[in-house]
């Protein structure tokens, strides 16, 4: 029988995270998933993932809070020792989209703690466990994926804190890629574009219009499952000798054009 593989997917019960979890479950990955909601409130997606025949373990945790991150890491460590893969997907949008000249510090701090500080220090803890496991078990495979956004480079002046958080997370991916490369742990960055999720639903009408006008060369919305398929390929090892790479999943949106 193949050796069981485990992946920790943050924010894996909705949107892009659920698309990633679905793709991994189809390929036989056992899953640890964290999210903000109580387990009873996410029973439906968890049951769907378990129906693929894999083990799914859920932990309620807010990655913006150090106590919750510690709780999550200890829970995962007790159950798995070390996970083969970490997918840093969980993120939050500003509670209110505000012009760059009007946005306040509370929103900036909220978004930066959730989108950058949380995954940065979660990765630190998980990478330590992966390294320790590889020292005693040379066949143990490990990898890390950061889900950032086209907003890591493309400026949106009505959600500056979100753009800054994703730009910082992009650098975090590079830093961990360099630090872990010699130990055989690849780190990748996946940048989704306009994906049909609950986060983008509020701007559906605006995005529909802009996509029709050519903002996205493929002239359509992306789907969470498409991001999931890309992540699954990375974790399978289908993109070797490429640690630190950025993979855009955006229908050509980030391609410079005249």
The gap from C-alpha 175 to its chain's centroid, in whole angstroms, comes to 16
Which tokens hold the place of 161? 């804190």
- Identify the band that residue 3 occupies on the pLDDT scale cut at 50, 70 and 90: confident
What gap in Å lies between CA 35 and CA 41, rounded to an integer?
10
Show the domains of the chain with their CATH numbers: 6-249 (3.40.50.720)
pLDDT tens, position by position, 213-242 = 999 999 999 999 999 999 999 999 999 999
Residue 142 has φ and ψ, to the nearest 5°, of -145, 150
176 to 4, 9, 79, 185, 241: CA distances (angstroms) = 25, 17, 24, 9, 15
Could you tell me the two tokens for 153? 């480079």
Tokens of 220: 């359509």
Catalytic residue among 162, 188, 207, 241: 162
Contact of 156 with 90, CB cutoff 8 Å: no
The answer to whether residue 162 is catalytic is yes
Whether this prediction's pTM lies above 0.95 is answered by yes
Q: Is 118 helix (H, G, I), strand (E, B) or coil?
A: helix
Residue whose token pair is 């159950």: 79
Q: How far is CA 21 from CA 58, 88, 114, in A?
A: 12, 12, 20
pLDDT given at position 245:
98
Cα gap 54→90, rounded to integer Å = 21
Q: What single DSSP character describes residue 81?
A: S
Give the model confidence (pLDDT) of 162-217 as tens digits: 999 999 999 999 999 999 999 999 999 999 999 999 889 888 999 999 999 999 99
């Amino acid at each position: 029988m193949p050796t069981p593989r485990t992946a920790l997917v943050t924010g894996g019960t909705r949107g892009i995270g659920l698309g990633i979890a679905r793709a991994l479950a189809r390929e036989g990955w056992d899953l640890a998933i964290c999210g903000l909601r109580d387990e009873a409130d996410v029973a439906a997606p968890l049951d769907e993932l378990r129906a693929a025949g894999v083990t799914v373990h859920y932990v309620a945790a807010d990655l913006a809070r150090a106590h919750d991150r510690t709780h999550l890491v200890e829970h995962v460590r007790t159950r798995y020792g070390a996970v083969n893969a970490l997918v840093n997907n969980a993120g939050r949008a500003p509670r209110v989209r505000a012009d760059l000249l009007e946005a306040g510090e509370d929103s900036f701090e909220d978004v930066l703690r959730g989108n950058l500080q949380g995954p940065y220090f979660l990765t630190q803890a998980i990478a330590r466990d992966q390294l320790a496991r590889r020292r005693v078990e040379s066949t143990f495979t490990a990898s890390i994926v950061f889900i950032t956004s086209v907003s890591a480079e493309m400026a949106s002046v009505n959600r500056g804190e979100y753009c800054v958080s994703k730009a910082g997370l992009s650098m975090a991916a590079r830093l961990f890629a360099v630090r872990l490369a010699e130990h055989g742990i690849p780190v990748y960055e996946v940048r989704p574009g306009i994906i049909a999720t609950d986060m983008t639903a509020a701007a559906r009408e605006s995005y529909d219009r802009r996509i029709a006008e050519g903002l996205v060369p493929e002239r359509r919305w992306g789907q969470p499952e498409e991001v999931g398929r890309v992540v699954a390929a990375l974790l399978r090892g289908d993109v070797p000798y490429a640690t630190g790479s950025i993979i855009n999943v955006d229908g050509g949106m980030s391609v410079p054009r005249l």
